[in-house]
A and B are shown apart, each in its own frame.
Chain A
Amino acid sequence: MRKLQRPMVIATLLLVTCVSLMGALQPIALASSLIVDSDAGASKLVDAVQSGSSPKPNLEICAAPPTSGAGVTSIFEPNSPPAREIRDLSYLVLGICLAIFIVVQGFLVLAIVRGVKAARTAKDNPTTTSSEPQQVYGSVPIEIAWTVIPVIVVFVLAMVTIRTIRDIDATTPPEGALAVTVIGHQWWWEYRYTVDSGSALAEQTTLVVTANELHVPVGRPVSLRLESADVIHSFWVPRLAGKTDLIPGHTNHLWFNAEQAGLYLGQCAEYCGTQHAHMLLRVYADEPAAFDAWLTAQAAPAVEDPLVARGRAIFSEYACLNCHTIAGTSAGMFGPNLTHLASRDTIGSGTVALTRASLRQWIDDPDVIKPSCNMPSLKLSADELDAITDYLMTLK
């Protein structure tokens, strides 16, 4: 038994030291991450990968959506307080798990090496060794040790976890947060900027409704109210915050605070049906002035260019208006609001870049870009397609 006890004691000591060290280091790491931010340079990896990526085979006219070099969605490249706290906690847990992994696998390898050697020795010296190794049935002190030590380790983990849960608690958004309601649809995102958003528009009663591209001001907390119009979806932009589900009949909350201007990507993370894969998230963190300008532009009525009156007429004549809202023209609710469609970078919930060609293709037959999505092909003539595309392209 002695043989077994000594290494076990050393191992447990090692483990306890590792865990307590990491527990002590965590607040320091937290503090330092508030001062120094080392999130630049993340895009290098992406650029390298991007250069080797393949074009969409069946969509020559449809370019991949622009990402302005912000393709990273790694949870280890946070740019917002909740995501950063989670990153730091991940490092701590990863460290503890790695320590346990090394100790356990180390003992496993050691046991194998010793056991194989013992078997060989016994085989080579059949006369001097007993027919079977010493029969050990257990050892109460050792068994107590490896019951108690894991209890201590998981206690530390539970405490750190609960503290971080409280820190990130989404039910109480930070003060002065911009409030946006997110409504999940099969398979696109609806965003509603409510009147009490505290922005320059606060006094007005205008309600900005847009889709698929969320604009937020840099450096100001954003509080999302998460709802669903149909099935369960999940809002996940890894660099800003952890994910939270959008559940019909159950309102959830999520907050983040983008600390650098730029585009943050993500996508729906709860399986929601056929096109779950193309329910992509794009969050634009704009400078405050740019954000206010954007919000004002979105609140303005739709452009009415007499040159494209025919396209507008076709839009109103056909089934388009059943699903889509264009302020002043139609009020459908099943599809994305198109009042300022042409101000967006992408269509199909981030599936392809918005160009005249891709939009025309989409109206002609959305299945080519996003198979089995809920928008039907209306079988328009080429002439009608051109007219309606021209009209929609004016909706800046």
Chain B
Amino acid sequence: MTTMSPHSTDETMKPLSFWESATRWTMSVDHKKLGLMYIAAGLVFFLIGGVEAALMRLQLARANAGIIDPETFNQLFTMHGTTMVFLVGMPVLLGFGNYLLPLMVGARDMAFPRLNAFGFWLFIFGGMLLYFSYVGSEGLYGAPGAPDVGWFAYAPLTSRTYSRGNSTDYWILGILISGIGSMTTAINFIATAICMRCPGMTLMRMPMISWMMLVVAALVLVAVPVLTAAQVMLLFDRSFGAHFFDPQTEGSAILWQHLFWFFGHPEVYILVLPAFGFVSEILPVFSRKPIFGYGLMVAATVGIGFIALGVWAHHMFVVGMGPTLDSFFAASTFLISVPTGIKIFNWIATMWGGRLRFHTPMLFVTGFIAMFVLGGLTGIMLATVPVDWQLSDSYFVVGHFHYVLFGGTVFGIFAAIFYWFPKATGKMLDDHLGKWSFWLLFIGFTLTFMPMHISGVLGMPRRIYTYEADRGFEIWNLISTIGVPIQMAGVALFLWNVVKSLRNGKPAGDDPWDGWTLEWATSSPPPEWNFDRIPTCTSARPLWDKKHPEDPDAHYE
């Protein structure tokens, strides 16, 4: 390390034993250690969820294949969806928020460090409880098995009658526990962003990502308790004979859908807004220009936050809500594309006239924009209610949300890892290998998910473990499956890159990308207390002002 922090000379000289360092990590309330643990745990679950997806694609490569039996397949897609949403998306993004938020607003830690650690461990135990179902649950015929009710677990398929054994209870409790963890983290984010900003950092000088995290935290606080409440109701139905979702006894199966999607749709924005934040931080630095229309970006973010709470029933156009409700939710869904569109236009305008440096983070960010536009446009098609009557629950939907959540969120996460890895470890990731990873992921991703739109249009419903040979689905499914090993190669290359760079990566220095936000003003990795002296902030780009005293941003505010 060229920029060894002067504060840690006494500690870093002698290497810690395994137990000593393990204790330090597990006992830590440091937002950076917790953030990194969130991300690392999320990546482990990402690999597990990826293997589940690969097994499904293997089964679907041919019509009427017999590689995986129906029960196992149904468990696979349930666990894949649940894992990717609750144990990959949420923790990795909350992990980045944890790591970055205090650094970027110039604070020494989160507002409530112990609550922060509590939230992390709840997530870990929730995830472990969910996966323990594979060995511990009593499924159909008494054999253990994971939940198999789909990640949105529609009633009454989840009732005692149709979901025997207790695998569904594992699903309820695992997600409920990690959900409580998410709520505590959200409270922490809000308190930190509102109360812990350094002198001079007004709300309208906060880095874009802090705004995104603030809105995400607000959405988590509104949406996740609804899911938790619904899960408690379901638990009562299953365990104590309540009848909330039991249509045989005046309960309502549709009530579950309303409650679930009231959580479920904001959840989509919870998963994508932080990635918007990564793009809004990385894109300006690699274009050498400030974000275009900061104020409008903030307004769009807050606007998305509000509208996201009023679109949930667009997941329910096929339940027969009637023309009035269908029309309302179609209109609100169209409306949310406006602030989302603004963001995309502003990003392109940020690139426009800049001097672009295509290092790996920038490559992933550009891929993000291109893919997310496609996912957004197929979203508009699905918001057109009659079109949704055809395409809902088809493979078109699977293609659509993977463009949003894989082409969008996951590409954003890779960009963020390549961008902030030097800050967190003091070592650079290999740029050459990183570009290989990007292109492999990009090609594999397109091969896998583009054909899904076509198989959906041809009439293939999602969540079927096999399909008829005469419908014209087979060729598109085969192409989808061919994309999988290419993506796996991209991920493997990335993991090798991480291991290699941790061992002997190029030293990063404090500010390898010539950045403008406060995290680049401290050492890499930052000391436990983040900043020796709490920084002051004069504009939305404090380090630009420091580097260009002749033309500071403060003049243009």
Contact = CB atoms under 8 A, between A and B. Distances in A.
A186 B381 CA distance: 31
Given A146-B342, A161-B386, A244-B320, A272 B157 contact: yes
Most A CB contacts (10 A, CB to CB) among B71, B161, B318, B463 go to B318
Contact of B334 (A119, A158, A170, A247): A158
A3 B470 contact: no
B320 A3 contact: no
Nearest to A100: B377
Interface in A76-133: 76, 82-83, 85-86, 89-90, 93-94, 96-97, 100-101, 104-105, 107-108, 111-112, 114-116, 118-119, 122, 132-133
Given A132-B288, A138-B294, A249-B252, A277 B337 contact: no
A143 interface: yes
Interface string B379-421: 0110111111111111000000000000000000000000000
A54 B62 contact: yes
Given A108-B366, A138-B292, A248-B253, A253 B464 contact: no
A105 B344 CA distance: 10
A236 B74 CA distance: 21
Nearest to A113: B356
Interface in A203-256: 226, 230-232, 234, 236, 238, 241-245, 247-250, 252-253
B374 interface: yes
Interface in B72-111: 74
A154 B471 contact: no
A111 B283 CA distance: 12
Contacts of A268: 461
Interface stretch (B264-272, B325-333, B430-438): B325-333
Given A90-B381, A245-B319, A64 B157 contact: no
Interface in A59-87: 64, 67, 71-76, 82-83, 85-86
Nearest to A71: B470
B393 A270 contact: yes
Given A150-B338, A158-B334, A249-B252, A54 B63 contact: yes
Interface stretch (B227-235, B345-353, B517-525): B345-353
Given A115-B287, A161-B386, A277-B464, A151 B458 contact: no
Given A49-B474, A64-B469, A371 B386 contact: no
A73 B459 contact: yes
B3 interface: no
B156 A250 contact: no
A247 B319 contact: yes
Contacts of B467: 277
B19 interface: no
Given A4-B353, A273-B157, A371 B70 contact: yes
A258 B326 CA distance: 25
B319 A115 contact: no
B162 A273 contact: yes
B386 A164 contact: yes
* Contact residues of B: prevailing secondary structure: helix
B394 A269 contact: yes
A367 B288 CA distance: 64
A270 B552 CA distance: 57
B58 interface: no
Interface in B244-279: 247-248, 251-254
B386 A168 contact: yes
B387 A137 contact: no
Contacts of A138: 292-296
Contacts of A73: 458-460, 471
B288 A242 contact: no
A270 B370 CA distance: 31
A118 B356 CA distance: 8
A82 B386 CA distance: 9
A92 to B, nearest CB: 9
B377 A97 contact: yes
B384 A161 contact: yes
Given A85-B386, A89-B387, A165 B323 contact: yes
Given A86-B386, A93-B381, A232 B353 contact: no
Interface in A141-188: 142-143, 146-147, 150-151, 154-155, 157-158, 160-162, 164-166, 168-171, 186
Contacts of A366: none
Contacts of B121: none
Nearest to B377: A97
Contacts of A381: none
Contact of B386 (A101, A116, A165): A165
A57 interface: yes
A316 interface: no
A50 B474 CA distance: 10
A186 B463 contact: no
Interface in B200-254: 247-248, 251-254
A135 interface: yes
Interface of B: 62-64, 66, 69-71, 74, 140, 148, 150, 154, 156-157, 161-162, 247-248, 251-254, 287-290, 292-296, 318-320, 322-323, 326-327, 330-331, 334-335, 337-338, 341-342, 344-346, 348-349, 351-358, 366, 369-370, 373-374, 377-378, 380-381, 383-394, 457-472, 474-475, 548, 551, 553, 556
25 contacts: A49-B475, A54-B469, A58-B66, A64-B470, A71-B470, A72-B459, A75-B459, A93-B387, A104-B345, A107-B352, A112-B351, A118-B353, A133-B354, A134-B353, A135-B553, A136-B290, A143-B342, A161-B386, A165-B330, A171-B322, A232-B253, A248-B156, A248-B248, A250-B254, A276-B465
The 3 closest A-B pairs by CB, nearest first: A242-B389, A73-B459, A249-B247
